[in-house]
Structure 1
Amino acid sequence: MGNKSNKDRVRELVECAESHFGEKVLHSSAPGGEGRASWRFEMESGFVIATSRPNFRRTHLEAVALTKLAEYCDDAPRCLGVVGDIMFQSDVGGRRLNQEIMKYDRRQRTDVAHEAIASIFRVQSAGRKSGLNRSMPHLGANHDWIRNLVDATSVLKSFSAGRSLDVDQEALCERITSPAVEFVKWDCRSGNAAISDNGRLRWFDFEYCGVRHGAEDVAWLIGDEAWPVQPQTMEEIVVSAFDRTNHYALDPYLDYLSVYLTLHCVQRLKLILKEVNKRGWLSKTRIRKYDDAGVHPEFAAHICKVGAYFAQRVPLTRPIGLDFEDAEKVFEQVLKSGRKDVENMKVPA
C-alpha cells in the first residue's frame, strides 16, 4: 500500500472490508502493533483479519495456501477472499500462544506443546494431500543461504573455547541441503500461533510458506528462545506426535532436526546479540507482548541450552554443543549479576 500513513492505510482497509463483506466495520485494532501487516476488524457479523503485505505476491501465495489447507485441516485461518493486494482471513483469536503458555503449569504446558507440534504435522499432512508440497516455492535451496547458516557458528567463539571453528563446514552444508518434499509454514515461533476461546490452537502468518525438508517448522518452535518448555521434553513430544505418513522414518528425521535446529539456535542467538547491541536488554513481558526477538539474558541462556542439547545428538555438531554450553554459562552469569551493558558481547564482524 505504498508509503501511506497508518491512518490512510487503515481507512483503505476498512473501505475494502465493508465493500467486500457488505457490512460495517464497528471497530479496528492492530494485534501485532500498528507497524505490522494485519489488522483485526470487528464486523457486524464477527471478527475478520485484513492483511496487506509489502510484497503482494506473498499475500496471494498465502491466500492460495490457506485455501488449500482448509480443505484438509482446521489448524490455520481460512482465506475469506482477496481484493487487490488485501487478503481477508478468519480471526484465530487474540490469545497468542507465546503469552498463553505462561499461564499454565508444567503439565499443561507439556499438553499445549504436544498440540502445537501435532498441529504442525497436521498442516504438513494437509500440504501433501492438497498438493502444496508440489506447487509451492522451494525454500533454502540457495547455496549462499545454506553457507550463511553454517558460517554463523563463528558467533559462538566470543563466548566459548571456540570448538565450533573446527567443525567440518562442508559436511554441515551437505547435511542441511535437503530435497524439497514437505510443505512448511516457516517461522513457527510461538507468537505466530493463537488459542481460540474454545481452546483450539491454530497457526497464522503463512507469508513465507514453501517446501523444504519439513523439520524446519518443528525447529522454529523448539528454537524459539521465549518457548518455556525444556528441550528434552520437546524431543519426547516430537517422538510422540510424529506423523509416520510423512516422507521420513523417525530416526533420520530426528538426526536432521537436530542438525538444523543447532544451526537455527545459532541464528537466534546471533539475532539476540545484534538487538542487544542496538537496544540493550528488554523485559520478558515486553518481548512476549510484541512478539519481539528474545533480547533478555534468560532467553539467550535458554537458546544456548536448546542448541547444546540437540547438538550433542549428532557427532558432527557436538563441538558446537560444547560451545553452546559455555555460552549458556555466560548469559546465566549476566542474569545473576544484573549487568545491563554488553561491551564484551559484540557480535563478530
Structure 2
Amino acid sequence: MTAPGPLALAPATAAALARWLEVEAATRDRSAHTITAYRADLLAFLSFLGGHHGAAATPRSLALLRQADMRAFAAAERARGLGARSLARRQSAVRGFLRWLSDREGHDLSAALAARSPKYARSLPRPLTPDQAREALEMVAAGHDTPWVAARDVAVMTMLWGCGLRISEALSLDGADWPFRDSLTITGKGGKQRNVPMLPVARDVVAAYLKLSPWRLAPEQPLFRGVRGGRLSGGQIAVALRRARAALGLPPSATPHALRHSFATHLLAAGGDLRTIQELLGHASLSTTQVYTAVDDAQLMKVYRAAHPRG
C-alpha cells in the first residue's frame, strides 16, 4: 500500500483541528505563537498516523488510538532528534486535542490519553547579578557612535530589567503610551493585560532617548524606533547586548531576556512574594514563576559550598 502524503489529513480531521485551535484561542487566551505551535504539533502527529496506519487519520480512526500508537509517535519523534522538552510539549498539545475530540464525539480515548510524557529537567533561568546588569547598561551606553541609538538601547534594556517586560512588550509601546505615569498597562501573551509600576529611572532614560531621537513622537508611531524610523526589532537590542557582554566577559546567557529574569530574581532576593512577582511578569501560572525560587536556592547553595569550612 502506498503511504499517503506527508500530512495525511482528511477533510473532517482538518475541520476538527481548525475548530479546536479556534476554541483554544478564544477560551484559553492562547497567543498567536502558541496556536501556531499547536498547529505544527498536531500536523506532525496526524502526518505520523497517516504513515503509521497507511491511511489518512479521521475522527473515527482517532477514536481507536491506543498507548502503543502514542509510544510509536514518541519513538519516531525522538529518532528525528526532538528533545524531551519539545516532545513533552508536542504530546501535551496532542492530548489536548484528543481530549476535546473525545468529549465532542463521545469517544473513549482514555487508553491513548494515559500515555506518559517524557520527563525532562527544566532549565533554570540565568539572570545577571545587579552589578553585571548595571555594567552591561553602562557599556551599551558607551558602545554606539550615534548618541540617540545608544540612549534608545539603554532605555529598552532598562524597561526589561527595571520593569520585567518581555522584549516584545517593550518594543510594542507606541507614542500614545508616553509620558509614563506611575504604572503602565502592558498587553502580554494571549492579549492579557497587567499594570506594571514604572520606576522613575525608567521614565528618565526614556525621556533622555526621546530628547535625542531625530524622529517626532506621534501617538500612532512606535515609541522605540530603528535608524530608518520603523519599529525597532529585538535583534538590534540583542546585538547591542552581545557587544557589551563580549567587552565585559559576561557569559552567552546574558541576553535581553536574561534582564527580565534578573528583574524577577532581584525582587525575590529583596523579599518580594511570588504572587506579586507573578502578576508583574504576567505569568498565567504560579508554577512558571516558582522556577525563580530554584534559582535563588541554587545561588544560596553555591555561596554556602564556597564559604562553608566543610564545603
TM range (shorter): under 0.3
What TM-score do you get using the length of structure 1 for normalisation?
0.22
Specify which structure has the higher proportion of strand.
1
Q: Larger radius of gyration, structure 1 or 2?
A: 2
